[in-house]
Amino acid sequence: MAKIVLLRHAHSSANSAGILSGRLPGVSLSRDGRAQAETLIARLGKSAFHSIRVSPMQRCEETIRPWIQSQNSKILSSYHLDDGIIEVDYGTWSGRKLSALSRDPLWKIIQSTPSKVRFPGGERITSMQKRALLSIDEAYKEKKDGTFLFVSHGDVIKAAIAGMIGLKLDEFQSLVIDPCSITILDYDGKKARLVTFNDTSSDISSSIVQKKRAKVLLGGGSGTKGRRL
């Protein structure tokens, strides 16, 4: 069983401005975001990832850079940019204020039935989910008991989680993925279990290296040895 670690980029300049930046170039981390990225050196610690896949957007590369440049990443095997986990193509919505977009009739559909949405001049949410899940499956096939880190975007991560745990895409807005949050799933190629969700502060290296869980859990599972309950 593989471990899939999903990291949303840290707080960006577009987040500060309340703008839906989408794939617009030049969107960097904010001052708060740069501070969040620095905390990943300790939060990821000396986690051994078989590969890291990063969205080509600047804010994602800037998020993982402090950890990559630290001594903790010495045992990293593979790092590459992955178009499969790039930000949603929001089309003509890109660069607009969220406060203005929330008054558009399409906004309500995005909140209630996102599976029906194609952004004007942009991408279908179903297409985005499909490509993100394909990237995860490609990583899994590389090493079925491997540990993989994906650095991506809020909507992409929410859609991927929904697809992996069997949540309908129309319910993916019930998931909250904060900037620089980490979510971990155990994945066997067909089904996934949510181990850590939207964690923004913990040292998660122990969750990554802990012993693989049994495929079948009864009574909630036995947890990790030595952990106080």
What are the pLDDT digits (tens) for 32-79?
999 999 999 999 999 999 999 999 999 999 999 999 999 988 877 799
| pLDDT at position 227 | 36
Helix (H) or strand (E) holding 185: strand 182-187
Does any domain span residue 173?
A: yes
Mean of per-residue pLDDT scores for the chain: 92
Residue 226, in any domain of the structure: no
pLDDT for the residue 214: 57
DSSP bridge partners of 150: 6, 53
pLDDT digits (tens, 9 = 90+) for 118-137: 999 999 999 999 999 999 99
Q: Is the pLDDT of residue 225 over 50?
A: no
pTM for the model stands at 0.92
**117 lies in some domain:** yes
Q: What is the mean pLDDT of residues 151-170?
A: 98
- How, if at all, do strands 147-152 and 2-8 pair? parallel
Q: At what angle do helices 31-44 and 58-68 cross, to 10 degrees?
A: 40
Burial class (CB within 10 angstroms; exposed 0-12, middle 13-18, buried 19+) of 124:
middle
User: Is 15 a domain residue?
Assistant: yes
Cα–Cα dist 168/101, whole Å: 24
Residue 223 within any structural domain of the chain: no
Based on the structure, what is the number of domains in the chain?
Answer: 1
CA distance 200 to 176: 12
Q: What average pLDDT does this structure show over 197-219?
A: 73
Q: How much is the pLDDT for 161? A: 98
Q: What is the pLDDT of residue 211?
A: 56
Residue 214 falls inside a structural domain: no
Q: Residue 138: which domain range?
A: 2-209
Identify whether 220 is part of a domain.
no
Which residues of the chain form beta strands (DSSP E)? Answer: 2-8, 19-20, 51-54, 79-81, 96-97, 147-152, 182-187, 192-199
Q: Is 139 helix (H, G, I), strand (E, B) or coil?
A: helix
In contact, 66 and 224? CB cutoff 8 Å: no
CA atoms within 13 A on the CB side of 191: 3
pLDDT digits (tens, 9 = 90+) for 7-33: 999 999 999 999 999 999 999 999 999
Q: Is position 224 within any domain?
A: no
Q: What CATH code is carried by the domain that includes residue 177? A: 3.40.50.1240
